[in-house]
Amino acid sequence: MNLLTSRATLHLITTGRQELEELTAIVSQLPIGSVDVLHIREKHRSAQELMRWYTVLKQLLPHMLVLLNDRVDAAAAVGADGVQLGGGSLTPLEARRLLQTGACIGRSVHSPEEAAEAAREQADFVLFGHIYETGSKAGLPGRGLHALTMASSACPLPTIAIGGITPERTHEVIQAGAAGIAVLSGILLSDNPARQAQRFHEALDKTKPHRKE
């Protein structure tokens, strides 16, 4: 999947607060094409559980890129579309040696220096945040749009912004240099996940991500 397209992309990240059955019921109702990438981010689950989550969700969402967070071993065992790596994970170069050819590798970064390093390590995209204050990072101020611009400018890869982003804030985030956004509870814990996903999709459709040469 080309993560730097004419339309900014929407990444959906699991909350760690829902069981698989609840999650499948939600994502099965999402409008086709509203979400581009699903991240399975369930730090408290075993490799066997993550493999089951991936198998079930990928069968349900064949049109969507599905990534496992951190657990390169589970991703390799199940032949996952790719992984999202944190700061304490393997490097993208190390992970790529273990994954299937063409696997998509994202790297979570928090500074321009980390973003540039992810590019040198041959990641496919970076996830930068948190942009605004968010309940998942209680008490920590957001890094802000200027920090997003700096990180995006330092890195030739698509930069996906995360943290406190709403449909109303989507335009300014993309204008600050993001190639897409990532959302957790803003969709999965909303009263109407399908409608909320559509609202984000519509907001992104009105924007154009910055092209990087």
Residue 63 annotated to the active site: no
Buried b (16+ CB within 10 A) or exposed e, 39-55: bbbbeebeeeebbebbe
Give one word for 74, left, alpha or beta, with left for phi > 0 and alpha for psi -120 to 50.
alpha
Cis link prior to 130 (omega < 30° from 0)? yes
Residue 180 CA: distances (Å) to CA of 35, 52, 58, 76, 197: 11, 28, 21, 26, 14
End-to-end CA distance of the chain: 18
HSE of 104, CA atoms in CB hemisphere, 13 A: 23
Catalytic residue among 44, 130, 146, 171: 130
Q: Which residue has the tokens 């559980």?
A: 49
Reference 28, options 186, 167, 185, 193; nearest CA is 193
76, 78, 81, 85: CA torsion to nearest 10: -50
Q: Which amino acid is present at 36? A: D
Is residue 160 exposed (0-12), middle (13-18) or buried (19+ Cβ within 10 Å)? buried
Query: Which residues are identified as catalytic?
Result: 130
